[in-house]
Structure 1
Amino acid sequence: MENQPEIIQTALSYLAQGWDLAQEWLLSPAAWSQFALLVVAFLAALWVSRKLRDPLTRWLTPAEDNDSIFAKARRFLAQFVPLLFPLLAYAFTDVGENITRSIFGSGAVIAFGNRVILFIAVRILVKEVVQDPLFKTIGKYFLIPIAALYALGLMGFVTAQLDATIVPLGNLSFSLLFLVRFLIIGGVIFWLGRWSNAQSTAMIQKQEDMRPAMRELATKASEIAIFGVAFLLLMNIMGISLTSLAVLGGAIGVGLGFGLQKIASNFISGVILLLEGQATVGDYVELDGGEAGTIVKMTARAAILETFDGRWIVVPNEDFITTRVVNFSDSGSANRYEAPFSVSYDTDINKVPDIIEAAVAKLDFVLDDPDGPDCELRGFGDSGIDFAVEFWVNGIDDGKNKFTPKVLFAIWNALKDNDIEIPYPHRVVEIKGSLPSDA
């Protein structure tokens, strides 16, 4: 044994201790009684959890259209119903441990069972309760192994080894134990932060008396506040002094001044847009660069436009401030368009405006307010007389709502019904000289 490596000697010593503990439990009436109580507690918890799970799930699941604060709290608690079995098992084994300690003065077997129950609870939490992919990964590779080490009684040894392993980082250094704690505590805090942010966002979006731009600004402000508090709470729990982050803050400031100035500019431009409300979610806009579409989302860095063919265009917020932007929805939902057409020179053009205006006014989407259809003479073309009818509609004439083609159909039918000819180009060919005669 003296010639073996230290790690092998340590492993053999733990095996020897485990064998002695197993012999002690196998030959002890107290150990057998604790094991019996542990089995009874497990079976009782399994039976009770199966009886309570369905009624509890139904009680904690409100109607889909119920969005009250109590309904949201019930839905949140319903996520933890899979933990009912380990919680009941832990409670029953705790009662059994108190009984065995009062009779035999020992409860090591039940204490071990409690640790196993805790491992089962952590596994259920990661597998069935946590839905976020990031936190599920953290739980799978950090939380479950830690619970397994605790259940086997190796937590103290592993903790000491992690605490003794120092990771240098420039002038700073930290232990692997600190890193593991930071990941676990940070994951829990920011998971709660994301849940709180989702609830606050849903509540703000329901405030219909607020302008859409103010709702977006309030949503961003609450998000910054929630995650700011989460960050400060994490720093306080981990014992990290905020003054130690002064150097990092200075480096970030320099980065913003040089490499990240565009990001800072877009962020500030986004705040200005939300405050002024000149462009917000739901508006149809056209930028100076040719980008056009409906704003479906506004982030801290950019606005996302959806075109009529379903494509998304990411436009930096700065472009809304520094370039010309046409907002078709800013002053109201009504917009004016025109449909050009031509008639033959043989037509009595004095009758055309009344005929076209009457035909277009019959269309159900054409508005009378702020003005009805207006047919105007535009000029005398090479092949015919040019007209155009102006009309107002409630919406945007885009790929989803093509108003102009329907107006052109109405113009075509009205002209045909009144025997008015729609011209097409004519060409006069003049041939100089005589035509060749057939031989």
Structure 2
Amino acid sequence: MDLSQQPEIVQQIAGYVFQGWDLAKGWLLSPAAWSQFAILIVAYLLALYISRKLRPFLTRLLTPREEQQNIFATARRFVLVFLPLLLPLLAYGLTGVGESITRSIFGSGEVIAFGKRVFLFLAARILAEKIILDGFLKLLAKFVLVPVAALYVVGLIGLATERLDAMVVPLGNLSFSILFAIRFAVVGGIIFWLGKWSNSQSTNFISKQEEMRPATRELASKTAEIAIFGIAFLFLMNIMEISLTSLAVLGGAIGVGLGFGLQKIASNFISGVILLLEGQATVGDYVELDGGEAGTIVKMTARAAILETYDGRWIVVPNEDFITTRVVNYSDSGSANRYEADFSVSYDTDINLVPAIVEAAVSTHPEVLKEPFPADCELRGFGDSGVDFSVEFWVNGIDDGKNKFTSDVLFLIWNALKDNGITIPYPHRVVEIKGNLPAKPE
């Protein structure tokens, strides 16, 4: 077949096809190859039999009780995830034993070596499809690990590596190969995924340290996050053999170009660090800013704090606003809040009895504190319809959302006044009519 007039890529593909055909014919006509095929089949069937017998036992051994949450139970659950790899790995190991036998007898083992690579490819596919659940790692396994394993099976991994390394992408005074870019993306992705996992584990551990103040826990979490990803970046640069000196020039140029545009971001970042260090506002506090924003801090990031209002909305407030404006914190650790409940009694009431009755009633509420001050009923004035009073009381928490302190206190006041025969007035109007009323028409 004359392919001299065809494009170069067609000629290369045809050359690979002819080489494969010659190899296949050599295998089909060789007694040593047939023996290796037989060993492959026996190794697979033996691995299938062993895995079927061994898998139920390993499943029972590695499955802990649901209530067990210690480190050993976690390790057992982790190993249990990889149980689907038992069959291809057993076949790979048994095939390796068969390969050593055939090489010692016939002096060759290409067929059985090919079978070993096929079992390794099957293990890579199972890993990508059934075991890896994380989205990023699954994508990496599907589009990197499986194709690399396929190239390894057909023996083209070296050729593909050479071709990718020869394809150079120029970037000004710098240049890099496609192979370097792929390695950088894969290694960088794995390292930063490990950094993200380590950060989540450290955050969970720090959040469980109840003896630390909330602001200290938040600061420790952010410090651990910066340290983890900083180490991950340096580790990546070291693995890829990238000089940090060359990056310093590029970083300086970017810093000069974007410095003015990033002033606000830098200001908010520094403000966030100050907030964490001083502990004036942290996650869980109910705050109100001069701009009218009010809510519970549910998250503090490097740039802003997230406030959740009582109607479920989230407000993003830049960290700088907590430093440059007046902030009212209703939930500062260790402090209580004072509230007032206003009410009135009729003018025919002996008002000297009202304070004791109301204070006793309000003090029965389980959330009303005796320190720093007990409930205090005060006379506030003489209104148009009745005598105005107000009772002051202290509680831990905010009077909204899940807490209804003022509403509960008003119920207590109403019931106490009714039990003591004291009426709560409502407006009355007296209308005077001068002269005679008009006669009713007949």
Q: State the Cα distance separating 1:290 from its structure 2 match.
A: 2.5
What aligned pairs does 1:162-241 form with structure 2 within 5 A after superposition? 162-241=164-243
Indicate the residue corresponding to 2:415 in structure 1: 413
Deviations 1:204-254 (A, max 9, x none): 233333222222222222222222222222222222211121133114423
What aligned pairs does 1:175-324 form with structure 2 within 5 A after superposition? 175-254=177-256, 257-324=259-326
Change (3 A) 1:291 1:51: farther
Indicate the residue corresponding to 1:156 in structure 2: 158
Q: State the Cα distance separating 1:350 from its structure 2 match.
A: 1.0
* Equivalent of 1:119 in 121, 126, 132: 121
Tell me if structure 2 keeps the 8 A contact 1:142–1:180. Answer: no
Task: Provide the C-alpha distance between the structure 2 equivalents of 1:187 and 1:81, rounded to a whole number of angstroms.
Answer: 26
TM-score (norm 1): 0.92
Change (3 A) 1:73 1:319: farther
Deviations 1:51-103 (A, max 9, x none): 33444345445455555444444444444333333332222221111111111
Task: Provide the C-alpha distance between the structure 2 equivalents of 1:253 and 1:72, rounded to a whole number of angstroms.
Answer: 45
Change (3 A) 1:45 1:21: same
Tell me if structure 2 keeps the 8 A contact 1:334–1:395. Answer: yes
- Does residue 40 of structure 2 align to residue 38 of structure 1? yes
What aligned pairs does 1:70-81 form with structure 2 within 5 A after superposition? 70-81=72-83
Tell me if structure 2 keeps the 8 A contact 1:285–1:295. Answer: yes
SS in 1 for 2:17: helix
Task: Provide the C-alpha distance between the structure 2 equivalents of 1:23 and 1:418, rounded to a whole number of angstroms.
Answer: 109
Q: State the Cα distance separating 1:3 from its structure 2 match.
A: 0.8
Tell me if structure 2 keeps the 8 A contact 1:308–1:400. Answer: no
The letter of the residue matching 2:416 is: A
Task: Count residues in correspondence.
Answer: 439
Please list every run of 5 or more consecutive structure 2 residues that lacks an aligned counterpart in the other structure.
Answer: none
The letter of the residue matching 1:234 is: L
Identity %: 74
Tell me if structure 2 keeps the 8 A contact 1:305–1:315. Answer: yes
Q: State the Cα distance separating 1:438 from its structure 2 match.
A: 4.9
Q: State the Cα distance separating 1:37 from its structure 2 match.
A: 1.6
* Equivalent of 2:364 in 359, 362, 366: 362
* Equivalent of 1:338 in 337, 340, 345: 340
SS in 2 for 1:293: strand
User: After the TM superposition, which of the residue ranges 287-296 and 23-32 deviates more from structure 2?
Assistant: 287-296
Change (3 A) 1:386 1:47: farther
Task: Provide the C-alpha distance between the structure 2 equivalents of 1:271 and 1:166, rounded to a whole number of angstroms.
Answer: 43
Please list every run of 5 or more consecutive structure 1 residues that lacks an aligned counterpart in the other structure.
Answer: none
TM-score (norm 2): 0.91
Aligned-residue CA RMSD (Å): 2.4
Task: Provide the C-alpha distance between the structure 1 equivalents of 2:56 and 2:274, rounded to a whole number of angstroms.
Answer: 51
Indicate the residue corresponding to 2:376 in structure 1: 374
Indicate the residue corresponding to 1:83 in structure 2: 85
Indicate the residue corresponding to 1:391 in structure 2: 393
User: After the TM superposition, which of the residue ranges 61-70 and 302-311 deviates more from structure 2?
Assistant: 61-70
